Structure 1
Amino acid sequence: MSNKKIINIAVIAHVDAGKSTLVDALLKQGGAFRDNQEVIEQVMDSNDQERERGITIYSKNCAIEYKDIKINIVDTPGHADFSSEVERIMKTVDTVILLVDSSEGPMPQTRFVLSKALELGLNPILMINKIDKKDQRAIEVVDEVLELFMELDATDEQLHFKTIFGIAKNGIAQFSLEDEGKNLDPLFETIVEQVGTYPIELADKPLKMQVSSLAYDSFIGRLGIGRIFEGKIVEGQTVSVVKNDGEVRQGKISKLTVYQGLAKVAVKEAFAGDIINFAGIEHISIGDTVNELNNINAMEPIIIEEPTMSMNFLVNNSPFAGKVGKFVTSRNIKERLEKEMEINVGLKVEPLNNPTIEGFKVLGRGELHLSVLIEQMRREGFELALSKPEVIFRKEEGSKELLEPMERVIINVPTEYSGTVINKLNQRKGLMIDMDSDGVRDKVIYNIPLRALIGFRSEFTNDTHGEGIMVRSFNGFEPYKGEIESRKNGVLISMANGKTLPYALGNIEERGTLFIGPQIEIYDGMIIGQHSRDNDLEVNPTTGKKLTNTRSSGTDDSVRLTPPKLMTLEEALEYIEWDELVEVTPDNIRLRKRWLSSTERKQHRNDNKKAID
Structure 2
Amino acid sequence: MSEARSQLPTSGGPTSNGPTSNGTAEARITAEAARRRTFAVISHPDAGKSTLTEALALYAEVIDEAGAVHGKSGRRGVTSDWMEMERKRGISITSAVLQFAYRDCVINLLDTPGHGDFSEDTYRVLAAVDAAVMLLDAAKGLEPQTLKLFDVCRTRGIPVLTFVNKWDRPGREALELLDEVEQTIGLRPMPLTWPVGVAGELRGLVEVETGEFRRYTRTAGGATRATAELVPADVIGAEEPQYWEAAQDELALLQEIGAAYDEKDFLTGAATPVLFGAALNGVGVARLLDALVELAPAPEPREDAGGDPRPLEASTSGLVFKVQAGMDRAHRDRMAFVRICSGRFERGMVLTHAATGRPFATKYAQAVFGQQRTTVEEAFPGDIVGLVNAGALRPGDTLYSTDLVEFPSIPSFAPEHFAVVRGADAGTYKQFRRGIEQLDSEGVIQVLTSDLRGDQAPVLAAVGPLQFEVVTARLESEFRAPVTLEHLGYSITRRTDAAGAQLLSGQSEVEVLTRRADGALLAVFSNKWRMETVRRKFEDLVLEPLPAGSER
TM-score by length of 2: 0.62
- DSSP 3-state at the match of 2:324: strand
2:473 to 359, 375, 378: 375
Post-superposition CA distance 1:472-507 (Å, at most 9, x none) = xxxxx9982579xxxxxxxxxxxxxxxxxxxxxxxx
Query: Is 1:229 aligned to 2:341, yes or no?
Result: yes
What residue in structure 2 maps to residue 365 of structure 1?
A: 463
Q: State the identity %.
A: 23
What is the deviation of 1:15? 0.6
Q: Which amino acid aligns with 1:252?
A: A
What residue in structure 2 maps to residue 101 of structure 1?
A: 137
- Aligned ranges for residues 321-332 of structure 1 at < 5 Å? 327=428, 329=429, 331-332=430-431
1:248 to 339, 357, 367: 357
Q: Which amino acid aligns with 2:277?
A: G
What residue in structure 1 maps to residue 247 of structure 2?
A: none
Post-superposition CA distance 1:248-283 (Å, at most 9, x none) = 211221122224687422122212221111236542
- DSSP 3-state at the match of 1:50: helix
What is the deviation of 1:219? 4.6
**Counterpart contact for 2:97–2:370, Cα < 8 Å:** no
What is the deviation of 1:168? 0.6
**C-alpha separation between the residues in 2 aligned to 1:371 and 1:68?**
42
**Counterpart contact for 1:252–1:280, Cα < 8 Å:** no
What is the deviation of 1:199? 6.2
1:194 to 271, 292, 295: 295
What residue in structure 1 maps to residue 436 of structure 2?
A: 337
- DSSP 3-state at the match of 2:276: strand
**Counterpart contact for 2:365–2:377, Cα < 8 Å:** yes
**C-alpha separation between the residues in 2 aligned to 1:163 and 1:272?**
27
1:208 to 317, 321, 330: 317
1:348 to 441, 446, 469: 446
What residue in structure 1 maps to residue 270 of structure 2?
A: 159
What residue in structure 2 maps to residue 12 of structure 1?
A: 42
What is the deviation of 1:285? 1.9
What residue in structure 2 maps to residue 265 of structure 1?
A: 374
**Counterpart contact for 2:316–2:340, Cα < 8 Å:** yes
List alignment gaps of at least 5 residues for structure 1.
174-183, 401-476, 484-613
What residue in structure 2 maps to residue 283 of structure 1?
A: 392
**Counterpart contact for 1:259–1:265, Cα < 8 Å:** yes
- Compared CA separation, residues 366 and 30, structure 1 to 2 (3 A): same
What is the deviation of 1:395? 4.7
**Counterpart contact for 2:476–2:482, Cα < 8 Å:** yes
Q: Which amino acid aligns with 2:169?
A: K
**C-alpha separation between the residues in 1 aligned to 2:288 and 2:421?**
46
**C-alpha separation between the residues in 2 aligned to 1:122 and 1:478?**
37
**C-alpha separation between the residues in 2 aligned to 1:392 and 1:479?**
6
What residue in structure 1 maps to residue 489 of structure 2?
A: 390
**C-alpha separation between the residues in 1 aligned to 2:274 and 2:44?**
17
**C-alpha separation between the residues in 1 aligned to 2:297 and 2:454?**
60
**C-alpha separation between the residues in 1 aligned to 2:288 and 2:369?**
20
- Compared CA separation, residues 298 and 143, structure 1 to 2 (3 A): same
What residue in structure 2 maps to residue 511 of structure 1?
A: none
**Counterpart contact for 2:475–2:481, Cα < 8 Å:** yes
- Compared CA separation, residues 269 and 357, structure 1 to 2 (3 A): closer
What residue in structure 2 maps to residue 609 of structure 1?
A: none
What is the deviation of 1:80? 0.4
**C-alpha separation between the residues in 2 aligned to 1:35 and 1:79?**
26
What is the deviation of 1:128? 0.9
- Compared CA separation, residues 144 and 359, structure 1 to 2 (3 A): same
What residue in structure 1 maps to residue 414 of structure 2?
A: 306
Q: Which amino acid aligns with 1:210?
A: L
**Counterpart contact for 2:131–2:160, Cα < 8 Å:** yes
What is the deviation of 1:73? 0.6
- DSSP 3-state at the match of 1:276: strand
Post-superposition CA distance 1:327-351 (Å, at most 9, x none) = 2x4x5433211111121x2521122
* Larger mean Cα displacement after TM superposition, 351-360 or 113-122: 351-360
**C-alpha separation between the residues in 1 aligned to 2:107 and 2:95?**
16
**Counterpart contact for 1:83–1:113, Cα < 8 Å:** no
1:70 to 106, 123, 126: 106
What residue in structure 1 maps to residue 281 of structure 2?
A: 170
**C-alpha separation between the residues in 2 aligned to 1:190 and 1:237?**
35
Q: Which amino acid aligns with 2:56?
A: L
What residue in structure 1 maps to residue 178 of structure 2?
A: 142
**Counterpart contact for 1:240–1:292, Cα < 8 Å:** yes
* Larger mean Cα displacement after TM superposition, 356-365 or 298-307: 356-365
**Counterpart contact for 2:54–2:66, Cα < 8 Å:** no
What is the deviation of 1:89? 1.0
**C-alpha separation between the residues in 2 aligned to 1:35 and 1:51?**
17
List alignment gaps of at least 5 residues for structure 2.
1-9, 12-28, 68-73, 189-264, 302-309, 501-524, 532-552
**Counterpart contact for 1:251–1:280, Cα < 8 Å:** no
- Compared CA separation, residues 8 and 342, structure 1 to 2 (3 A): same
- Compared CA separation, residues 357 and 226, structure 1 to 2 (3 A): closer
Post-superposition CA distance 1:327-384 (Å, at most 9, x none) = 2x4x5433211111121x2521122332589511111112111122123324454333
**C-alpha separation between the residues in 2 aligned to 1:350 and 1:260?**
34
**C-alpha separation between the residues in 1 aligned to 2:490 and 2:91?**
24
**Counterpart contact for 1:77–1:83, Cα < 8 Å:** yes
Query: Aligned pairs, how many?
Result: 380
2:350 to 216, 223, 238: 238
Larger Rg: 1
**C-alpha separation between the residues in 2 aligned to 1:298 and 1:222?**
23
- Aligned ranges for residues 412-451 of structure 1 at < 5 Å? none
What residue in structure 2 maps to residue 42 of structure 1?
A: 78
Q: Which amino acid aligns with 1:288?
A: D
What residue in structure 1 maps to residue 60 of structure 2?
A: 30
What residue in structure 1 maps to residue 528 of structure 2?
A: 480
**C-alpha separation between the residues in 1 aligned to 2:137 and 2:37?**
25
**C-alpha separation between the residues in 2 aligned to 1:286 and 1:198?**
20
What residue in structure 2 maps to residue 588 of structure 1?
A: none
Over aligned residues, Cα RMSD in angstroms?
3.3
- DSSP 3-state at the match of 2:421: strand
**C-alpha separation between the residues in 2 aligned to 1:358 and 1:281?**
26
What residue in structure 1 maps to residue 191 of structure 2?
A: none
**Counterpart contact for 2:159–2:269, Cα < 8 Å:** yes
**Counterpart contact for 1:256–1:267, Cα < 8 Å:** yes
**C-alpha separation between the residues in 1 aligned to 2:295 and 2:397?**
30
**C-alpha separation between the residues in 2 aligned to 1:304 and 1:358?**
25
**Counterpart contact for 2:187–2:272, Cα < 8 Å:** no
Q: Which amino acid aligns with 1:266?
A: T
- Compared CA separation, residues 198 and 358, structure 1 to 2 (3 A): closer
Q: Which amino acid aligns with 1:194?
A: L
- Aligned ranges for residues 450-599 of structure 1 at < 5 Å? 480=528
What is the deviation of 1:72? 1.0
- Compared CA separation, residues 225 and 161, structure 1 to 2 (3 A): same
**C-alpha separation between the residues in 2 aligned to 1:481 and 1:151?**
38
What residue in structure 2 maps to residue 404 of structure 1?
A: none
Post-superposition CA distance 1:282-303 (Å, at most 9, x none) = 422221111113x201111111
**Counterpart contact for 2:422–2:484, Cα < 8 Å:** yes
**Counterpart contact for 1:103–1:138, Cα < 8 Å:** no
1:185 to 286, 309, 314: 286
**C-alpha separation between the residues in 2 aligned to 1:265 and 1:168?**
27
